[in-house]
């Protein structure tokens, strides 16, 4: 039986050559604090495409300057960013990989010197700045910032866009009752807390007809926070608004003790996949081909997002193929060295 990890996967109008996704990981490598692509980004991302990853996803890329996690983050808040991103997508795609970008706003977890924004004026902890609670007009403007970012991503040639609604960043802050204390139409009930993400989805869909992923934190790890059951409901709403796949991570909206172990988030992916009848991606301490294959064969996820293991091994697809006794096509230039 052919390994499912190396079977093609079609989502909307895009076919990935395998089920391996390079998960978005911040590189903090913009040299002039301008959000521009650098030589490091070219080397880093292209090498994983050479390594036969099916989908290479760029790190959290900020839709506004104050939305950066750090001043070294990539940006997509200006038309000036499109040229560098276009060259990067060209290099990724020439090796047979597809290119994705995660568009994001850090909210209260931004460490930039500018004034930072959040749904409510609550700092993450004592080491972070106190954010400004966004006005209704600022919320509306942020929705437009995501729309403009999606349009630039389209012009830059990306195949897939992912909206970052996880890890305690801005959209996650709106979703969680732990961080959203608003008393207007964007706070209070679950429907109101979802409203900002819903408007972002509609706005992005107005300019983007390709596959659209949403990364979520499926568990707040807090007795008063959100759970996978809550996100199963919200994933149904996301699906109706045009989301094609839910990238299932967890945690980081508030300080919390999290017990981590191999595949610790896979059960969340499985629950949301079944509960909302939507494709999911599994991520979190997935390190071997055998582990990835089990997740796929048991229908616990549709795609496997590999993060730190791809930092250790840019050619992890080859490593996984050897474990699964699967044959994958090597880069022509490396064919002599890839023979088992």
Residues 246-303 have pLDDT tens digits of 999 999 999 999 999 999 999 999 999 999 999 999 999 999 999 999 999 999 999 9
Let me know: does 134 contact 117? Beta carbons within 8 Å.
yes
Contact 2, 49 (CB under 8 A): no
DSSP E strands in the chain: the ranges are 9-11, 14-16, 20-22, 55-62, 98-104, 117-118, 132-133, 160-165, 212-217, 245-249, 280-283, 303-306
- The pLDDT assigned to 340 comes to 59
Q: Cα Rg for the chain, rounded, in angstroms?
A: 19
Q: Which residue in 159, 211, 205 sits closest to 55, CA to CA? A: 159
Domain boundaries, the chain: 4-327
- pTM of the full structure: 0.97
- Tens digits of residue pLDDT in 61-119: 999 999 999 999 999 999 999 999 999 999 999 999 999 999 999 999 999 999 999 99
Task: Return the closest-CA partner of residue 304 out of 48, 36, 53, 40.
Answer: 53
pLDDT average, residue stretch 134-163: 98
Contact predicate 251/221, CB 8 Å: yes
Q: What are the residues whose beta carbons fall under 8 Å from the beta carbon of 234, sequence distance 6 or more? A: 175, 190, 194, 197, 216
Question: Given this model, what pLDDT does residue 132 score?
Answer: 98
The answer to whether the beta carbons of residues 61 and 74 sit under 8 Å apart is yes
215 annotated among ligand-binding-site residues: yes
Q: Can you tell me the distance from the alpha carbon of 331 to that of 16, in angstroms, rounded to the nearest whole number?
A: 17
Beta-bridge mates of residue 102: 60, 162
Any known ligand binding at 60? yes
Whether 102 has a binding-site annotation, put simply, is yes
Cα–Cα distance, 76 to 290 (Å, whole number): 37
- pLDDT at residue 116 in the model: 98
> Which residues are CB-contacts of 313 (< 8 A; sequence separation ≥ 6)?
319
What SS3 state is found at 304? strand
Q: Which residues contact residue 298 at a Cβ distance below 8 angstroms, ignoring those fewer than 6 apart?
A: none
Q: Residue holding tokens 């474990």?
A: 323
Is residue 52 classed as helix, strand or coil in its secondary structure?
coil
Q: What is the pLDDT of residues 200-215, one digit of tens each?
A: 999 999 999 999 999 9
28 annotated to a ligand binding site? yes
Mean pLDDT of 226-248: 98
In this prediction, residue 338 carries a pLDDT of 84
Phi then psi dihedrals of residue 265, to 5 deg: -105, -5
Judge residue 240's burial from the number of C-beta atoms within 10 Å of its C-beta, 0-12 exposed, 13-18 middle, 19 or more buried. exposed
Is 167 annotated in a binding site? The answer is yes
Ligand-binding annotation for 233, yes or no, is: no
How deeply is 332 buried, as exposed, middle or buried, from its count of CB atoms within 10 A (0-12, 13-18, 19+)?
Answer: exposed
Does the structural domain 4-327 have CATH classification 3.20.20.70?
A: yes
């Amino acid at each position: 039986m052919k390994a499912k990890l190396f079977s093609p996967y079609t989502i909307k109008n895009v076919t990935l050559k395998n089920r391996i996704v390079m998960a978005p990981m911040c590189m903090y490598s913009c040299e002039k604090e301008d959000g521009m692509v650098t030589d490091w980004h070219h080397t880093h991302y292209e090498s994983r495409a050479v390594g036969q990853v099916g989908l290479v996803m760029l790190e959290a890329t900020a839709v506004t300057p104050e939305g950066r996690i750090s001043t070294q983050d990539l940006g997509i808040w200006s038309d000036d960013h499109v040229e560098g991103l276009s060259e990067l997508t060209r290099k990724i795609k020439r090796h047979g990989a597809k290119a994705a970008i995660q568009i994001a706003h850090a909210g209260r977890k931004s460490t930039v010197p500018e004034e930072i924004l959040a749904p409510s004026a609550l700092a993450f902890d004592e080491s972070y700045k106190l954010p400004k609670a966004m006005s209704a007009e600022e919320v509306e403007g942020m929705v437009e910032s995501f729309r403009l970012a999606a349009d630039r991503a389209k012009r830059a040639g990306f195949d897939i866009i992912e909206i970052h609604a996880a890890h305690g960043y801005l959209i996650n802050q709106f979703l969680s009752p732990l961080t959203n204390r608003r008393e207007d139409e964007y706070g209070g009930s679950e429907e109101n807390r979802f409203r900002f993400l819903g408007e972002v989805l509609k706005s992005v869909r107005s300019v983007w007809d390709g596959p659209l992923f949403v990364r979520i934190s499926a568990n707040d790890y807090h007795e008063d926070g959100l759970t996978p059951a809550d996100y199963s409901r919200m994933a149904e709403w996301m699906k109706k608004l045009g989301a094609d796949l839910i990238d299932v991570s967890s945690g980081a909206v508030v300080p919390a003790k999290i017990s981590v172990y191999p595949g610790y988030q896979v059960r969340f992916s499985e629950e949301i996949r079944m509960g909302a009848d939507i494709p999911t991606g599994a991520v979190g301490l997935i390190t071997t081909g055998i582990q990835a294959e089990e997740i796929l064969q048991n229908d616990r996820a549709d795609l496997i997002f590999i993060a730190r293991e791809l930092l250790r091994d840019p050619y992890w697809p080859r490593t996984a193929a050897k474990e699964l006794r699967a044959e994958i096509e090597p880069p022509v230039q490396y064919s002599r060295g890839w023979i088992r």
